Homo-oligomer: A and B are copies of this chain.
């Protein structure tokens, strides 16, 4: 039984900007269906042009680029509310791949409908661009992190960001969240080697800052973590549209 946009649990989160009834109505028509995939499914392939676009309702995944030598750069982590396939929607093809790391429920849109959206729903088209700008912002931040922070700083930053995102999505219980990734995934996201990432995680454990075991991330001392991440403890999350 597919979710009605009207009842979409994500919409109610304060993380996302409010939608008018009329907009909700349009989204309902824009939505072409719902998709459930199992962990490990590749949702988008670098270089391909998917006929479908998605919004994540449940589950987590990864965006990444692959190199000739087989290595990967993880672009970012995919959480509920994320839009997948913007590049396929407006450019010829995707520039990165997207993979599910848990079972996922996805809202499906028809690529061709994107044009209708621009023609008939300028507000929503605007939101799509907004989303692209948010994405650009996040990538710029990642670039800054990888470009300027050492191993400990990068891991701490990643944890703070994930913690905050989970918090905004209501996925946090007692400072604990589901983090269904491998250490290699985190390493590939931060531009660190697996070994060094592992040793950094160990330090965080020993210092009583955070533990990450069995796919569960537990923040033991948010202040310490923020300090390592060179972030102030009070940052208001940026609101963004949901599509």
A139 CA to B133 CA in the complex, in Å? 12
A136 CA to B131 CA in the complex, in Å? 11
Q: Are B143 and A91 in contact (CB under 8 A)?
A: no
Closest B residue to A94 using CB positions: B137
Q: Are B122 and A90 in contact (CB under 8 A)?
A: no
A2 at interface by CB-CB < 8 Å:
no
B-contact 0/1 string along A121-149, CB 8 Å cutoff:
01101101110111111011111101110
Residues on B with beta carbons closer than 8 Å to the beta carbon of A90: 126, 129-130, 133
Q: Are A191 and B146 in contact (CB under 8 A)?
A: yes
Closest B residue to A71 using CB positions: B148
B-contact 0/1 string along A53-73, CB 8 Å cutoff:
000000000000101100101
A190 at interface by CB-CB < 8 Å:
yes
Closest B residue to A144 using CB positions: B73
What is the size category of the interface that chain A forms with chain B? 35 or more
Residues on B with beta carbons closer than 8 Å to the beta carbon of A71: 148
A96 at interface by CB-CB < 8 Å:
yes
> A67-B148, A96-B140 known; A119 and B122 CB under 8 Å?
yes
Which one of A87, A91, A140 has the highest number of Cβ atoms from chain B below 10 Å of its Cβ? A140
A147 CA to B186 CA in the complex, in Å? 12
A201 at interface by CB-CB < 8 Å:
no
Residues on B with beta carbons closer than 8 Å to the beta carbon of A125: 118, 122, 125-126, 129
Q: Are A115 and B126 in contact (CB under 8 A)?
A: yes
A213 CA to B67 CA in the complex, in Å? 32
Which one of A68, A118, A136 has the highest number of Cβ atoms from chain B below 10 Å of its Cβ? A136
Which one of A128, A133, A190 has the highest number of Cβ atoms from chain B below 10 Å of its Cβ? A133
Q: Are B87 and A133 in contact (CB under 8 A)?
A: yes
Q: Are B137 and A95 in contact (CB under 8 A)?
A: yes
A126 CA to B125 CA in the complex, in Å? 8
A38 at interface by CB-CB < 8 Å:
no
- Cross-chain contact of A73 among B91, B119, B132, B143 (Cβ < 8 A): B143
8 interchain pairs (CB within 8 A)? A65-B140, A65-B141, A73-B144, A87-B133, A95-B136, A95-B137, A95-B140, A136-B136
